[in-house]
């Protein structure tokens, strides 16, 4: 099942209050897209903490953790993608830098109430959906 597959997520302009945990491979995009219009209609800013996701509502906060290093940051969904097979989220350059991602990396992502709870580095979040 792809990491973005869920019958609980609807595309809307309101941030999702649904709580999800998903794992998969993250990539990033930057300079080539700087200033270009995102799917939400706002210009892409590679220095902002934003992301592209196939179906989470625009404005949804997502807490992303690099599985290898434990580094984490919060991003806001403002675009659609990734459009590369086997990827679950595309991060802005700033978010990728914060997470120590220079290409692709395995990540755990949380939305909804899980964002407020953060990550416990001693525990692995329950996997709801996976994309490997």
At residue 10 the predicted structure's pLDDT band, cuts being 50, 70 and 90, is very low
pTM metric for this prediction: 0.78
Average pLDDT value for residue range 31-54: 98
Q: What is the pLDDT of residue 114?
A: 77
CATH class of this structure's domain 28-117:
mainly beta
3-state SS record for the chain: CCCCCCCCCCCCCCCCCCCCEEEEEEEEECHHHCCCECCCCCECCCCCCEEECCCCCCCCEEEEEECCCCCEEEEEEEECCCCCCCCCEEEEHHHHHHHCCCCCEEEEEECCHHHHHCCCCCCCCCCCEECC
Spell out the domain ranges in the chain: 28-117
pLDDT for residue 120: 65
């Amino acid at each position: 099942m792809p990491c973005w597959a869920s019958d609980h997520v609807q595309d809307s302009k309101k941030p999702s209050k649904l709580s999800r945990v998903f794992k998969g491979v993250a990539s990033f995009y930057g300079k080539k897209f700087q200033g270009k219009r995102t799917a939400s209609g706002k210009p892409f800013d590679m220095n902002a903490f934003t992301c592209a996701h196939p179906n989470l509502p625009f404005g949804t906060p997502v807490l992303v953790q690099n599985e290898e290093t434990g580094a984490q940051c919060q991003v806001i969904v403002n675009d659609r993608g990734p459009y590369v097979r086997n990827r679950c989220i595309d991060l802005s350059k700033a978010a990728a830098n914060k997470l120590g991602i220079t290409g692709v990396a395995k990540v755990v992502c949380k939305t909804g109430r899980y964002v407020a709870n953060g990550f416990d580095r001693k525990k692995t979040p329950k996997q709801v959906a996976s994309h490997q």
